[in-house]
Chain A
Amino acid sequence: MDFTLTQILHQLWIARIPIVQGLGVTMAAAALAIVAGSVLGVGVGLALTYGTRTLRWLTRAYTDFIRGTPVLVLVLASYYILGAAGVQLSPFQAGVLALAVFCSSHVGEIVRGALQAIPIGQIEAAKAIGLTFPQTFRYVLLPLAIRQVLPTWVNTAAEMVKASTLLSIIGVGDLLLASQEVISRTFMSLPFYFFAGFLYFTVNFAIEHFGRYVERKTQIPS
């Protein structure tokens, strides 16, 4: 099908509000998932590194299970299972929950990697001067680990923006679904899929560059 540029721009102008709203839903879903997933993920990372044997085993099973499952399966499972279990969640809430769980397992692994890279002598030194574990974490581990974690963590954020497109499959009105609705009305699949892809690209490109900036800033000067 051939459309003139004017027709395409005209349709884009008509659809501007749903598309901007869709972008807002995408950003909100990704942001909520990143925040909740990171908080949970730091806990998972701590449990993986310093937990008792049982706790370590449980969190290891959790992260391995989540990381072995595709995000789409997590999203669909969260949507259908919670509904069947009688927990009434909107598609948006179920989707964000799935993304947050996915994010937590990745952040957990990143945090574990960073904590394990810290020389044991640092922890021994903290113990020697009588710091409690929360104090050790706050004043010794966190400042060291955060430099390792931040650049990879920004990458995970970009992954979450990409994964948020999967929410359109369970009917969340994100940027992708908004674009698809325009397409089903106008049949202009080429320009509108391209436009949606371009918007996602722009958001992620910005995040990627922010990640490089963070990486430069957090490097230990040598």
Chain B
Amino acid sequence: MDYVLNFSVVWRSFDHLLGGLGLSLLLALGSILIGIVIGLVVSFALVSPSGIARRLAGLYVTVTRNTPLLVLVLFVYFALPDLGIRLGDIESFVATLAIYSGGYLAEVFRAGLLSVPKGLSEAGQAIGLKKMQIRLSIMMPIMFRNVLPALGSTVISLFKDTSLAAAIAVPELTFQARKINVESFRVVETWIVASLLYVCTCAVLAMIFRRVERHLAIPR
């Protein structure tokens, strides 16, 4: 095997890779923010006393967690236009990843809600807070602290899932890497640099979450 590593081609296109990484992060940010809102609503439905709400929320979680993301992405991008729903490639991907992440985040939040001691929401009732007030100012702050570790790993895995946007030609990191690979044939170099960019970003995200966790930890 006489393959000589030569990173110069990759460095020349490094701006494209960085731009791709930026777009990956934006895709992740946009869809996770929407996903958190969906996840919160669905998680409260999952623990609600109403049977219908529980069932509907359960169905949503089961479907999003058991269907491959790539199938959902292709479905939203290629099949929904037949129903008259036409979205650009970026919007369509963000919408799909938001719906997909909603299911995962709902499960994370549900576990968090169940970990909030019952006495606290009863105390809220006792001082006359409304249902919504109890959810927003008692359950959510405690739940968020409890779920931070799980939230962190879910967010990181959703960030990695943005690579699937390459399948519908959104020019994010994986798409750019593949393009450089095909144009330059510097196969090994391209993929080493691309995956290192992903690995470093994931490490930074993990570090940020650990910081936040330590910062917000409930003092005991």
Question: How many whole Å from A165's CB to the nearest CB in chain B?
Answer: 4
Question: How many whole Å from A212's CB to the nearest CB in chain B?
Answer: 12
Q: B70 to A165, Cβ gap below 8 A?
A: yes
Question: How many whole Å from B35's CB to the nearest CB in chain A?
Answer: 17
Question: How many whole Å from B17's CB to the nearest CB in chain A?
Answer: 12
A: number of interface residues (CB 8 Å): 41
Q: A77 to B167, Cβ gap below 8 A?
A: no
Q: B174 to A197, Cβ gap below 8 A?
A: no
Contact of A197 among B67, B198, B199 (CB under 8 A): B67
Question: How many whole Å from A99's CB to the nearest CB in chain B?
Answer: 13
Q: A81 to B191, Cβ gap below 8 A?
A: yes
Contact flag A162-B195 (CB < 8 Å), given A72-B174, A193-B75, A205-B62: no
Question: How many whole Å from A177's CB to the nearest CB in chain B?
Answer: 11
Q: Within the assembled complex, what's the spacing in Å between the Cα atoms of A63 and B70? A: 24
* Residues of chain A within 8 A of B181, CB atoms compared: 76, 80
Question: How many whole Å from A111's CB to the nearest CB in chain B?
Answer: 17
Q: B70 to A73, Cβ gap below 8 A?
A: no
A200 within 8 A of B: yes
Q: B1 to A193, Cβ gap below 8 A?
A: no
Question: How many whole Å from B173's CB to the nearest CB in chain A?
Answer: 8
Q: A1 to B82, Cβ gap below 8 A?
A: yes
Q: B177 to A194, Cβ gap below 8 A?
A: no
Q: Within the assembled complex, what's the spacing in Å between the Cα atoms of A207 and B82? A: 32
* Residues of chain A within 8 A of B177, CB atoms compared: 73, 76
Q: A81 to B67, Cβ gap below 8 A?
A: no
Q: Within the assembled complex, what's the spacing in Å between the Cα atoms of A176 and B68? A: 10
Q: B66 to A200, Cβ gap below 8 A?
A: yes
Give residues 139-171 of A contacting B (CB, 8 Å): 158, 161-163, 165-166, 168-169
Q: Within the assembled complex, what's the spacing in Å between the Cα atoms of A101 and B66? A: 22
Q: Within the assembled complex, what's the spacing in Å between the Cα atoms of A205 and B78? A: 25
Q: B198 to A73, Cβ gap below 8 A?
A: yes
Question: How many whole Å from A175's CB to the nearest CB in chain B?
Answer: 9
Contact of A158 among B66, B74, B194, B200 (CB under 8 A): B66
B72 within 8 A of A: yes
Shortest Cβ distance from B165 into A: residue: A72
Question: How many whole Å from A91's CB to the nearest CB in chain B?
Answer: 15
| 0/1 string, A64-78, CB within 8 A of B gives 1 | 110111111110110
Question: How many whole Å from A221's CB to the nearest CB in chain B?
Answer: 23
A128 within 8 A of B: no
Q: B199 to A68, Cβ gap below 8 A?
A: yes
* Residues of chain A within 8 A of B7, CB atoms compared: none
Contact of B187 among A84, A180, A197 (CB under 8 A): A84
Contact flag A204-B67 (CB < 8 Å), given A70-B174, A76-B174: yes
Shortest Cβ distance from B182 into A: residue: A80
**Would you list 14 pairs from A and B whose C-beta atoms are within 8 A, ordered by A residue?**
A68-B198, A72-B167, A72-B174, A73-B177, A74-B195, A76-B191, A81-B187, A85-B3, A168-B70, A183-B78, A190-B79, A190-B80, A193-B71, A197-B68
On A, residues with C-beta under 8 Å from B are 1, 64-65, 67-74, 76-77, 80-81, 83-86, 158, 161-163, 165-166, 168-169, 176, 180, 183, 189-190, 193-194, 196-197, 200-201, 204-205, 208
